């Protein structure tokens, strides 16, 4: 079967971001960008499904700026067969991304679509669920285990109280949690080979999708700073401070 893995280019998870002085957003000039960590897990899971003989082709797709080609090449180096970039310079909402992905799903007809559960920049945790709604497919969100059997997929999900397993009819949508797998590193020969793999570039217009949004970000501010407190010398002093100064015990 064909698997579609969706990835996003985001600021690297180790970067401590700074809010712009005019409060228009976060300063991303000259900041290290990478594949969203949850998306890496999505690609890894697709590759493992191929290694198990479950998947026959892996198509990796990203919606974003021209530079997102770097992350698509990374996914190709990790084992995806071909890539699609839907190029858009705008900052799209999750719904707009889900609509564009729906158009790609219609075109490619994958049996399984794997996304990360959330992007570490917008922290929305929406796109997979929205794509599932638009396609009418079942959704297995926050997946920590995925088993494809016949025309169904069993997904173990991380939920507040522990773990839950659901069975979905294929085609289905899965969003990954951190514990689904440990992504591999791309080897140099694979990085070289990835440069020759096909990468198709589309636009929202070509797909006939409007990316208009009902949300508008008015401003972005730095959170209230929390300053370092004091160092205590002993447990006794700590307990005394908690009781008498902070009054939380």
Partner 1 sequence: MTILVIADFLEGKDGKTLAAATLNTVAAAAKIGGEINVLVAGQGIGAVAEAAAQIAGVAKVLVADNAAYAHQLPENVAPLVAELGKGYSHILAAATSNGKNILPRVAAQLDVDQISEIISVESADTFTRPIYAGNAIATVQSTAPVKVITVRATGFDPVAAQGGSAAVEAVAAVHDAGTSSFVGEELAKSDRPELTAAKIVVSGGRGMQNGDNFKYLYALADKLGAGVGASRAAVDAGFVANDMQVGQTGKIVAPQLYIAVGISGAIQHLAGMKDSKVIVAINKDEEAPIFQVADYGLVADLFEAVPELEAAV
Candidates 44-52, 55-63, 195-203, 233-241: pick the segment binding partner 1 (CB under 8 A).
233-241
> At its nearest, how many Å lie between partner 1 and the CB of residue 16?
7
Return d(Cα 96, Cα 203) in angstroms, integer.
Answer: 13
According to the binding rule CB under 8 A, does residue 109 interact with partner 1?
Answer: no
Measured from the CB atom, the residue of 62 and 176 that comes closer to partner 1 is 176
According to the binding rule CB under 8 A, does residue 124 interact with partner 1?
Answer: yes
> At its nearest, how many Å lie between partner 1 and the CB of residue 229?
4
According to the binding rule CB under 8 A, does residue 206 interact with partner 1?
Answer: no
Return d(Cα 40, Cα 215) in angstroms, integer.
Answer: 28
Q: State the number of binding residues for partner 1 (CB under 8 A).
A: 81
In this structure, the number of other CB atoms found within 10 A of the CB of residue 156 comes to: 19
Task: Give burial (CB, 10 Å; 0-12/13-18/19+) of 175.
Answer: buried
Measured from the CB atom, the residue of 49 and 180 that comes closer to partner 1 is 180
According to the binding rule CB under 8 A, does residue 235 interact with partner 1?
Answer: yes
Candidates 46-54, 73-81, 83-91, 226-234: pick the segment binding partner 1 (CB under 8 A).
226-234
Return d(Cα 36, Cα 238) in angstroms, integer.
Answer: 40
Return d(Cα 208, Cα 106) in angstroms, integer.
Answer: 12
β-pairing verdict for 82-87 and 138-149 = unpaired
- 56-95 binders of partner 1 (CB under 8 A): 93-95
DSSP state of 171: S
CB 68 within 8 A of CB 9: yes
According to the binding rule CB under 8 A, does residue 194 interact with partner 1?
Answer: no
Return d(Cα 67, Cα 56) in angstroms, integer.
Answer: 28
According to the binding rule CB under 8 A, does residue 209 interact with partner 1?
Answer: no
CB 136 within 8 A of CB 53: no
Interior CA angle at 33 toward 43 and 97, to 5°? 60
Measured from the CB atom, the residue of 79 and 204 that comes closer to partner 1 is 204
Distance of CA 23 to the CA centre of its chain: 25
Measured from the CB atom, the residue of 80 and 155 that comes closer to partner 1 is 155
According to the binding rule CB under 8 A, does residue 231 interact with partner 1?
Answer: yes
Contacts with partner 1, 5-34, as mask; x by CB under 8 A:
------x-xx-xx-x------x--------
Candidates 1-9, 83-91, 107-115, 118-126: pick the segment binding partner 1 (CB under 8 A).
118-126
């Amino acid at each position: 079967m064909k698997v579609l893995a969706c990835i996003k280019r985001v600021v690297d998870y180790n970067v401590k971001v700074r809010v712009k002085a005019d409060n228009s957003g976060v300063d991303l000039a000259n900041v290290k960008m990478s594949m969203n960590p949850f998306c890496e897990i999505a690609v890894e899971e697709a590759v493992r499904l191929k290694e198990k003989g479950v998947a026959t082709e892996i198509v990796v797709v990203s919606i974003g700026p021209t530079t997102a080609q770097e992350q698509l090449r990374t996914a190709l180096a990790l084992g995806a067969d071909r890539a699609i970039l839907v190029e858009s310079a705008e900052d799209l909402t999750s719904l707009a991304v889900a609509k564009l992905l729906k158009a790609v799903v219609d075109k490619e007809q994958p049996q399984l679509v794997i996304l990360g559960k959330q992007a570490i920049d917008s922290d929305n945790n929406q796109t997979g669920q929205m794509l599932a709604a638009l396609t009418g497919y079942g959704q297995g969100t926050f997946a920590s285990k995925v088993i494809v059997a016949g025309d169904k997929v069993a997904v173990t999900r991380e939920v507040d109280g522990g773990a839950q397993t659901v069975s979905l009819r294929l085609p289905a949508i899965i969003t990954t949690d951190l514990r689904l797998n440990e992504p591999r590193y791309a080897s140099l020969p694979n990085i070289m080979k990835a440069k020759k793999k096909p990468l198709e570039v589309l636009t929202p217009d070509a797909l006939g999708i409007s990316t208009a949004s009902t949300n508008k970000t008015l401003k972005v501010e730095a959170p209230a700073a929390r300053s370092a407190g004091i160092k205590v010398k002993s447990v006794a002093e700590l307990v005394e401070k908690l009781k008498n100064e902070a009054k939380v015990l």
